[in-house]
Amino acid sequence: MSITRRSLLLAGLMAPIARTARAHDRSALLPTEVRVHPGLMPGDIYVIPEDFHLYHIRRPGIAMRYGVGVGRAGLEFKGAAVIQRKAEWPSWRPTDDMIGREPEKYAQYADGVPGGPESPLGARALYLYRNGRDTYYRIHGTTAPETIGSSVSNGCIRLRNEDVIALYDAVEIGTHVTVV
């Protein structure tokens, strides 16, 4: 197996993550500026689901780290994507797969939920696309901040509303996202 520049950079990103993720302390999920490998591209986002953290690279060697909730086993998003749409107080509709898996929970929302404080997507949403196509995965806020630091969603990456607002304001359309 060959070692690529990307794998070395990701290993450099993940080294300090392993230490912070083991601290079963809710404060480890609060936004914090952290040092990362200086070769990571400013503006990019990296998500390490097993450690419940999202890293927004601010400048060489520095990232803002946010605690996240991630998808349950088998439903999680992995790989590369690009943010091609952003929305404030987005409306939400469960996917057909979600309705099929758990109709008792999601069928009642088949016509959608309008944007606002009750929307499951929370205050903001960043829409992930791959090869120009919507993946139906999002980085978004949540009405259930107690789920940050756990694997409970249908695949999306969720942040506390105040954190997704800060991230939303800091990223542009075209931002690269990597979920490892």
Which residues are designated catalytic? 140, 156
Residue whose pair of structure tokens reads 């439903």 in the numeric block:
75
Task: State which amino acid sits at residue 166.
Answer: A
Residue 143, phi-psi category: left (phi > 0), alpha (psi -120 to 50), beta (remainder): alpha
DSSP type of residue 141: -
Closest by CA to 155, choosing from 173, 133, 143, 140, is 140
Q: Which residues lie closer than 8 Å to 158 by C-beta, 6 or more apart?
A: 68, 69, 70, 122, 139, 140, 141, 142, 147, 148, 164
Count Cβ atoms within 10 A of the Cβ of residue 111 and give its class: 0-12 exposed, 13-18 middle, 19 or more buried.
exposed
CA distances from 154 to 24, 90, 99, 119 (A): 24, 17, 11, 15
The DSSP result for 33-52, as a single string, is EEE--TTSPTT-EEEEGGGT
